[in-house]
């Protein structure tokens, strides 16, 4: 049994007293307005009922003021002894604390200081907070405690509430945009027989009922394309994906992403769609296309330029990947130039495409600030993408990069099942050679492709990553409501 603080003991004692007066945990309260809606009402409107958590109180002899708060707003409440009655008012003064939930009903007026207030005629207790909220002026500021106790972080910190409102509004606008273009939202499986859909190391689990190992979804891609094969020309999914890779300020192993696919489109069509979609959503959410990230202002308007892998690596590392076109040549040059790549897999075991990608991420990506489309990816980096008609060593693919972060990845899809089978065989050979991020062979997907596919282009976007960008957050965990944390001891967990 953990030891309680003095405040926690007092609050439990109050809870017992509340139980003598009323049910401390009633099943409902009928509201007429949200706090935000009530704060916009004209003076004199009565029978207004609101409910929320108390975040401020000033108790006085015959009249008290308190403030209720939820995710969308705050409202000041006035409690007077002559309106509530002495018994109810004394109950409030004796047993109600910061953090408790209450419901009130009354009339809207404006105080002499100009603050919209609800003058309460009725009061109902709705729930006791057995733990006190953090001290007002210092609040909850330690980042780790904010991640572990996001519920308290959101109660106390306006910046946190605003970040998650931006995230929720962004996702709402994203769905609205695609739904208006007649996309179908579908769901694909999270547990898979094959770790397919992207080049990444998977999480492995075990299905006890079927007695087999399964992989947590890396990406929904191959199932989304199965849906197109099934006759859905426009599909998207917003869901969780899992990649068992490194963790840093811009990467999490479990994250939310959207993937969308459209039949009869190519990657250039989707570059136009992505630009219009993001500019539309950003303007609808923020009212501007200029976003602030730290001390930078980034202009998301206009047409975003296209730059190739080769151009960027040549510019920032003076290495021409057309000249260093094999693993052996490129590894030798990287070692010669003493470039340290951030790969968990030894660079000698990486496939050529992954090697080029890690080199670009090290030497070029941190220098990209304004939005650009990165193009002309090596074919071995994109085993599910369509090869370029003029240069079969690269694929018709793009990545939107802003402020050193990859925001969107898309390409013209490979729809030739024989070529797809050949590429996945090459990927499985790379995996056998030690490249843990290479893809597995997936004959079930090949079998689906053999029923015939139209031209397709698809794209994926990390929701967490773009919200981190749009809110100027230092760490991606800042925009994930409940990020995974390393467990701590049971005693500390309760503090």
The predicted pLDDT at position 430 comes to 82
Query: Does 199 have pLDDT greater than 80?
Result: no
Is the pLDDT assigned to residue 491 strictly greater than 50? Answer: no
* Per-residue pLDDT at 1: 65
21-58 pLDDT, tens per residue? 999 999 999 999 999 999 999 999 999 999 999 999 99
Q: For domain 158-304+371-479, is the CATH number 3.30.930.10?
A: yes
Q: How far apart are CA 279 and CA 208, in angstroms?
A: 46
Tens-place pLDDT, residues 282-324: 999 999 999 998 889 999 999 999 999 999 999 999 999 999 9
Largest CA distance in the chain: 87
Domain ranges of the chain: 6-127, 158-304+371-479
Q: Domain spanning 6-127 has what CATH number?
A: 2.40.50.140
Return the top range by mean pLDDT from 83-87, 195-199, 352-356.
Answer: 83-87
pLDDT in the model for residue 139: 64
Mean pLDDT score of the chain: 93
Partners of 330 in the β-ladder: none
Report the C-alpha gap between 248 and 9 in whole angstroms: 40
**More confidently predicted of 447 and 344:** 447
Q: What is the pLDDT of residues 333-377, one digit of tens each?
A: 999 999 999 888 888 888 888 899 999 999 999 999 999 999 999
Does the pLDDT at position 495 exceed 50?
no
Q: How confident is the model at residue 200 (pLDDT cuts 50, 70, 90)?
A: confident
Q: Are strands 74-80 and 116-127 parallel, antiparallel or unpaired?
A: parallel
SS3 185: strand
Q: Is 171 helix (H, G, I), strand (E, B) or coil?
A: helix
CA distance 73 to 34: 8
What angle (nearest 5°) sits at the alpha carbon of residue 28, between those of residues 25 and 34?
Answer: 115
- Cβ–Cβ < 8 Å for 263, 454: yes
Task: Decide if 96 contacts 30 (C-beta within 8 A).
Answer: no
pLDDT tens sequence across 408-434? 999 999 999 999 999 889 888 887 888
Instruction: State residue 197's pLDDT score.
Output: 76
Query: pLDDT (tens digit, 9 = 90+) per residue, 137-180?
Result: 556 788 999 999 999 999 999 999 999 999 999 999 999 999 99
- 383 — pLDDT class (breaks 50, 70, 90): confident
According to the model, what pLDDT value does residue 138 have? 58
In this model, does residue 213 exceed pLDDT 60? yes
Lowest-pLDDT range, 99-108, 246-255, 472-481? 246-255
Q: What is the pLDDT of residue 320?
A: 94
* 306-308 vs 74-80, strand pairing mode: unpaired
Question: For the segment 463-485, what is each residue's pLDDT rounded down to a tens digit?
Answer: 999 999 999 999 999 999 999 99
**Helix count (H) and strand count (E) of the chain?**
16, 18
């Amino acid at each position: 049994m953990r030891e309680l603080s003095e405040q926690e003991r007092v609050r439990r004692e109050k809870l017992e007293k509340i139980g003598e007066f009323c049910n401390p945990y009633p099943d409902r309260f009928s509201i007429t307005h949200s706090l935000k809606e009530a704060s916009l009402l004209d003076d004199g409107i009565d029978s207004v009922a609101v409910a929320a958590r108390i975040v401020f109180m000033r108790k006085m002899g015959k009249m008290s003021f308190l403030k209720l708060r939820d995710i969308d707003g705050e409202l000041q409440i006035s409690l007077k002894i002559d309106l509530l009655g002495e018994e109810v008012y004394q109950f409030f003064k004796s047993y109600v604390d910061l953090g408790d939930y209450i419901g009130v009903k009354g009339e809207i007026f404006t105080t002499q200081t100009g603050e919209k207030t609800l003058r309460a005629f009725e009061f109902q207790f709705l729930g006791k907070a057995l733990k006190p909220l953090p001290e007002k002026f210092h609040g909850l500021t330690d980042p780790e405690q904010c991640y572990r106790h996001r519920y308290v972080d959101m109660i106390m910190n306006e910046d946190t509430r605003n970040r998650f409102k931006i995230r929720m509004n962004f996702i709402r606008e994203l769905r609205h945009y695609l739904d208006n273009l007649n996309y179908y939202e579908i769901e694909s499986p999270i547990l898979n027989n094959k770790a397919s859909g992207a080049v990444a190391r998977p999480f492995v689990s075990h299905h006890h009922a079927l007695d087999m190992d399964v992989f947590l979804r890396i990406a929904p891609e191959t199932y989304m394309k199965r849906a197109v094969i099934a006759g859905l020309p426009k599909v998207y999914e917003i869901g969780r994906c899992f990649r068992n890779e490194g963790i840093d300020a811009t990467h999490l192993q479990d994250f939310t992403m959207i993937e969308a696919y459209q039949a009869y489109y190519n990657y250039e069509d989707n570059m136009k769609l992505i630009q219009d979609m993001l500019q539309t959503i950003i303007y609808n959410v923020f009212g501007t296309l200029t976003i602030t990230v730290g001390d930078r202002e980034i202009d998301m308007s206009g047409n975003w330029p296209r730059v190739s892998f080769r151009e960027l690596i040549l510019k920032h590392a003076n290495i021409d990947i057309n000249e260093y076109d094999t693993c052996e040549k490129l590894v030798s040059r990287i070692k010669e130039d003493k470039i340290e790549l951030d790969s968990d897999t030894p660079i000698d075991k990486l496939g050529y495409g992954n090697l080029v990608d890690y080199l670009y991420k090290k030497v070029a990506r941190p220098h990209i600030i304004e939005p650009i489309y990165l193009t002309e990816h090596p074919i071995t980096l994109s085993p599910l993408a369509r090869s370029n008609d003029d240069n079969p060593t690269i694929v018709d693919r793009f990545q939107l990069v802003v402020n050193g972060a990859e925001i969107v990845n898309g390409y013209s899809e490979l729809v030739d099942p024989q070529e797809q089978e050949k590429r996945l065989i090459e990927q499985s050979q790379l995996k056998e050679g030690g490249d843990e991020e290479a893809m597995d062979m997936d004959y079930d997907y090949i079998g689906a492709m053999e029923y015939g596919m139209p031209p397709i282009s698809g794209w994926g976007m990390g929701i967490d990553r773009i919200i981190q960008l749009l809110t100027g957050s230092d760490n991606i965990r800042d925009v994930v409501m409940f990020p995974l944390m390393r467990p701590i001891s049971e005693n500390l967990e309760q503090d």
